[in-house]
Structure 1
Amino acid sequence: MTISTMRPAPAATPAGNIARPRAWQSRTFINAARVLICVAFLALWEIASRQGWVEETLFGRPSGVWTSMLEYLPSERSLESLRATGAAVGVSFVIGSISGTLAGLILGLSPTLNSIFGPFLAPINSVPRIALAPLFIAWFGLTMTAKVVLAVSIVFFILTENARSAVRSVDADLMTMARVVGLKRASLLLKVVLPSAVPTMFAGLRLTFVYALLGVVASEMVAATGGLGQDIVLYSSSYQINTVFAILVELMAVAIVMNWLFNAAERRLLVWQVS
């Protein structure tokens, strides 16, 4: 004879009672922890510099960085350098993102072209761009063109691979159904491929802006007539480390603002994805 053991069913949670996150999982706690980490790091840095644990000439100190920011950022030199770097980053990002996205879409939609050109992407992209900076400078001189070409060479290949992967990751059943109902290449691209690939492509755009900024600054550090990269080299060579950190803070602020703008644009353009 089989004896079945009856266990009481768990009590149903009232519809109005929603599980609340634990205290250390709340947004307030997370934000407070972030602030505390930053404050602790800056305080330790300041104390270490004042007590002589680290050499101030080489490492600077937060109070000195703040003073340098107040002196450098509003200066004419800073504004001129920011304009030079910003113009190069903007041009390289637009050229690289458009050409790279188009190339990736073409490779993703054409198996034949992908088989021909796809194997070349990884070897070419593996070449260190900073090693090409002297070559670009020799070709184009100390002009904005050299900086733009270097940054475009980074952005193009990242977005090409990003767009190609995004297209190839589209659901195969969805593509088959679209072809069955008669969608041709243009309609297939606009109505099926792009809506599915846009989220991945937006993530690539956020990433490549940072790489465009890095490429331009790196090129300026090798050789240029102006820009934030040249300022970093100038102040580093004269051991004005606090000013170097002030420039780095400026670059981080630019990257944070642009990342916020990309996130805002993505939320607005992809509002249809919210269920």
Structure 2
Amino acid sequence: MTDAASPTRTAITPTADAPSRATRRTHRAWAERLIPLLPDLALLAFWQWASGRLVREIYVSKPTAVVARLYELFASGEIYSHLWTTAQELVLGYTIGVAGGVVAGYALGRSPRLARVFEPYVMAFYGIPKIALAPLFIIWFGIGMGSKIALAAIMVFFLVFYNVYTGVRGVDRELVNLTLVMGANQRQLTRHVYLPAAAPFVMLGMRLAIPYSVIGVIVGEFTSATQGLGLFIHEASSTYDPAGVFAGIAILLVFVVGAGILAGRLERRLLRWRTLSGVGPSEI
């Protein structure tokens, strides 16, 4: 009797341990997700404690006050028109800047003659602080969306341009000559050699350009605007509303983080071939 029961208990033991192992794995996964948030939580806790004790609340507000201000803005619908205006300016400015940077960077990268003619002018214009162009763009395009789109586009353009230009100029000439010897035409050369080689540089430029497009739009709205998050933040600061200022900054942070996540997913999709060929994301 005892011998017959013993194997049964031995067989049940691993099954009983399985839920505990799954629970431990779940706890470990949650811990890995939460650990990166600990510095943020500590900073928020310190901010909440220090406001009114170490620093006057009129200067820095409090996280709880910022959350309450965000709720008020969305509940009343006051922020939606500003959000919509800024979102349109960001998307259009970013898209135009990326498209122009890719085309110009590829054209000058493929043509040494064009590069010799235009690169000095591009370098000279690149040295001008783009923020200084905001008043000029307002004169040209008015106080509406056009001036903000132009400012964001010009800030994005140069980052993307130089990354694409570097990627195309860095293509191995022996690979290009070998491809031509094998009978490839210019379209095939572009598709199978230049574009794969420049793709990581394009994605790098697109990721780096995200915060700069936000800077361009917000600075333009600071200068002159009728709608937009920049105008909202400017008005909040002029009326000594630090909670409103931090609420606007928090919304902009969501814009930047969300755009960065989308850019990362696009990069993984477009550069999947590099992972399959043994080149990891850290090497891109």
Pairwise TM-score range, normalised by the shorter structure: 0.7 to 0.9
Q: Secondary structure at the match of 1:274?
A: helix
The equivalent of 1:231 in structure 2 is 232
Counterpart-to-counterpart distance in 2, 1:234 and 1:224: 11
1:40 maps to 42
**Does 1:61 pair with 2:53?**
no
Amino acid at match of 2:120: P
Q: Secondary structure at the match of 1:77?
A: coil
What is the CA–CA distance in structure 2 between the aligned matches of 1:201 and 1:259, rounded to whole Å? Answer: 14
1:178 Cα deviation after fit: 1.2
- In 1, the alpha carbon distance for the partners of 2:30 and 2:200 equals 29
Q: What are the ranges of 5 or more consecutive residues in structure 2 without an aligned counterpart?
A: 1-27, 277-284
1:239 partner SS: coil
Amino acid at match of 2:38: L
1:27–1:109 distance in 2 versus 1, CA, 3 Å? farther
Compute the TM-score of the two structures, normalised by the length of structure 1. Answer: 0.85
Change (3 A) 1:152 1:33: same
1:209 Cα deviation from its structure 2 partner: 2.5
Between the aligned partners of 1:190 and 1:198, the Cα distance in structure 2 is: 11
CA deviation vs aligned residue, 1:19-57 (integer Å, no higher than 9, x gap): xxxxxxx98776444322112111111111132x10111
Unpaired runs of at least 5, structure 1: 1-25
Q: Which aligned segments of 4 or more residues in structure 1 are displaced greater than 6 angstroms? A: 26-30
Look up the equivalent residue of 1:145 and give its one-letter code: G
**Alignment-derived partner of residue 86 in structure 2:** 85
RMSD, matched Cα: 1.7
Count of residue pairs the alignment pairs up: 249
Amino acid at match of 2:58: T
- 1:204 paired with 2:205, answer yes
SS in 1 for 2:184: coil
The answer to whether 1:106 aligns with 2:104 is no
Equivalent-residue separation in structure 2 for 1:263 and 1:241 (angstroms): 33
- How far 1:187 moved relative to its partner? 1.8
What residue identity is the alignment partner of 1:47?
Answer: W
- Counterpart CA distance in 2 for 1:165 and 1:70 is 46
What secondary structure, in the 3-state scheme, does the structure 2 residue paired with 1:63 have?
helix
* Distance change in 2, residues 1:193/1:74 (3 Å): farther
CA distance in 2, matches of 1:249, 1:77: 16
User: Once the two structures are superposed, what CA deviation does each residue of 1:103-131 show, in whole Å capped at 9, x if it has no partner?
Assistant: 00000000110111112222211211111
Structure-to-structure mapping, 1:241-256, within 5 angstroms: 241-256=242-257
User: How far 1:226 moved relative to its partner?
Assistant: 0.8
Report deviation, 1:179: 2.0
Aligned with residue 52 of structure 2, among 50, 53, 59:
50
Paired residue type of 1:188: L
Question: What is the 5 A alignment of 1:18-29?
Answer: none
SS at match of 1:66: helix
Cα distance in 1 between the residues matched to 2:196 and 2:264? 17
Superposed, 1:141-160 pairs within 5 Å as: 141-160=142-161
- In the TM superposition, residue 68 of structure 1 has moved relative to its aligned partner by 0.9
Percentage identity across paired residues of the two chains: 35
SS at match of 1:34: helix
Aligned partner letter, 1:207: L
Measured in 1, the distance between the counterparts of 2:192 and 2:76 equals 50
Amino acid at match of 2:193: V
CA shift for structure 1 position 133: 0.7
When normalised by structure 2's length, the TM-score is 0.83
